[in-house]
Amino acid sequence: MISPITTAAKTVTAAVLVLLVSAAPVWGQSLFNAAGLGTPVEALDGRARALGSMGIGLGGPSIMPTDPGGLARLGISTGVMAASPSWVDYSASGDRSGSFQGNRFPLVGIGYPFFGGMASVQFGSFLDQSYEVTDVSDVDLGDGPVRTSDAFSQDGSISNVNLGFARAINGHFAAGLTVGRYAGSLDRTLVRTYGDEDDEGNVDQYIESGVWSWAGWSFTAGGSASFDGLEVAASVQMPSMLSGNASGETRGSDRRFSLPIQYRLGATANLGPSVLLHSSVVLADWSKTEDELSDAYVTSGSGFGVGLELSRARLLGKDAPLRFGFRRVGLPFAFEDESVSERTLSSGFGLVLNETAGMVLARIDMSIERGRRSSANLTENFWRATLSLLTSGF
C-alpha cells in the first residue's frame, strides 16, 4: 500500500523537477531593465532576502549558486524553489509616474549526495531585460504630417544553469565548485505604425526585430568555515565573456560583453542562544562592460547587507524564526553617468514544517521587502515578496 506521506513527498519532488525543467522566464521588474544589459535579479531564497543577504554565509545549509561552500552542509537531498512577485511605483522627471507589477522565479535547485559530497543543479536568474517604450512623432508623407508611433519592445532575460559539487573537508571547512552556463534569449522588436490609433490608414507597419541567444560560462569557487558561533563563507565567480548570438534571420550582429568577477563574503554569528547576526558583501566591477555598450552607463554592482534572525520564535507550534535585514546594492547599468543603487528594508519568517534529528525536512521562507531604486531622473519604490519552499530527505 502506498503511503499518503510518501505520495506527498513525491509530489514535492515532482514539482521541483517540473520547475527545474520549465525554468520560468524572469519578467519585468524594473524600468532600469532598459539600461544596458538589464537589471540584476539575484538567485536568492526567502531566507536570504529576509536577512538582506548577498547569498552567502547565511549559516546552515544553502543551495544558492552564490555559495558553493554552503552546499556541502546540506547533508541530505534537498530541493528549493522560490517565487518573487513585486509591485513597483515609479516617478520620473516631468511629472511622469505609474506602476507595474511582475513575478519571477529566481531560484530552482536540487542537491543530492554524491561521491561523499553534495552535487547540485540550479536554475537561477541573472539579468532581467524586458521592457517596452513607445515614441510618437509626425512625418510628412507628401500629403501633410502623419502620426507615427514607434513601439519598441524588449523581451528576454539571462539565466544561469549551474552544476555544482561541494564537499566538507573536515568538521569545520567545506569547499565547492559550481560551473554555470548562461542561457536565455533576447527579442528586440521595433514596430512603426502610421496614422492615429482609430484610423491607421493604409500605410503598413514597419517591423525590425532581432533575436539573440545568450551564451557564456561561469565558474564559482567557494568555501565556508564553521566555528563555535560563527560561520564564514566566501566565493569568487569568474565568468567568461557573455555572447549574444544573433539568430539566422536577425540583421543585427553578434556581440560579446565582459562580465565582472564577483567576490562574495558573508558571515553569520551567534549573538546569543537565539539571535543570529548576518552580514555579507559583494564586489563586482562592471566598468569593463561600459566600453562594449552603445548607449548605457555602467556603475558599480557592489553591495552589502546585514540581517538579524530571532530563531526561537514559533508559529502554530512550529519553529518560525523571525528575520530582519537591510541591503544596499548597486545596479550595474544606468541611463546617465551616475550611481544607481537598490536599497531595501526586509523582514520575514521561516516556518519549519518538519524536522527530524535536527535536520529540516520541509520549510517555507517568506520575506517582504520595501525598497527603492533611484537615479537623478527616476525613482522606483517597490514591494517585493519572496516565498521559497525547501524540502529535504526525498
Partner 1 sequence: MSVFGAYRPGVAVAALGLLAAFTAGCEEQTPVALGGEPLPGSPITVTVEIPWSEFASNLEVFGGYGSAEDIGQGVLAEDYAGVLDARTLLRIGAYPRIATVQDTTGASRPDSTLTILGGRFVAFFDPVQSTNTAPVMLQLGATTEEWDPTTATWDLAIDTINDQRSWAEAGGGSVTPFAQATWDPATGDTAVFILDSAQIATWTDTTDLSAGARIAVLDTGERLALNRALIRLDARPSSNPDTIIELTATTRGSTFIYSPYPQPPPDGVRIGGAPSWRTILDLNVPKVIDGIPEFCAIVSCPHTLSPGQISYAALVLTSRLTEAAFQPTDSIRLDVRPVLNRASMPKSPLGVSLIVSPFGRSVSPEAFGSAPGLEIEIPFTGYARDRLRGTDPSGNPTPETLALLSVIEPFSIAFASFEGPLSPAEPYLRLVLTIGPPVELP
Residues between 233 and 262 with contacts to partner 1, criterion CB under 8 A: 244, 250-253, 255
| Choices 90-98, 264-272, 277-285, 322-330; region in contact with partner 1 by CB under 8 A | 90-98
Closest separation between CB of residue 226 and partner 1, Å?
24
Instruction: Kindly state the cell numbers that stand for 195.
Output: 496614422
Nearer to partner 1, 48 or 186 (CB): 186
Q: Which stretch binds partner 1 (CB under 8 A): 11-19, 170-178, 215-223, 271-279?
A: 11-19
Binding mask 132-151 for partner 1 (x = CB under 8 A): xxxx---xxxx-----x-x-
Q: Which is nearer to partner 1, 50 or 233 (CB)?
A: 50
Question: CB of residue 211 vs partner 1: minimum separation in angstroms?
Answer: 10
Q: How far is the CB of 315 from partner 1 (least distance, A)?
A: 14
- Shortest CB 231 distance to partner 1, Å: 25
Per-residue string for binding with partner 1, 43-82, x by CB under 8 A?
Answer: --------------------------------------x-
Cβ at position 189, least distance to partner 1 in Å:
7
Task: Give the interface segment with partner 1, choosing from 59-67, 167-175, 217-225, 384-392 (CB under 8 A).
Answer: 384-392
Mark residues 279-318: x for contact with partner 1 by CB under 8 A, - for none. --------------xxxx----------------------
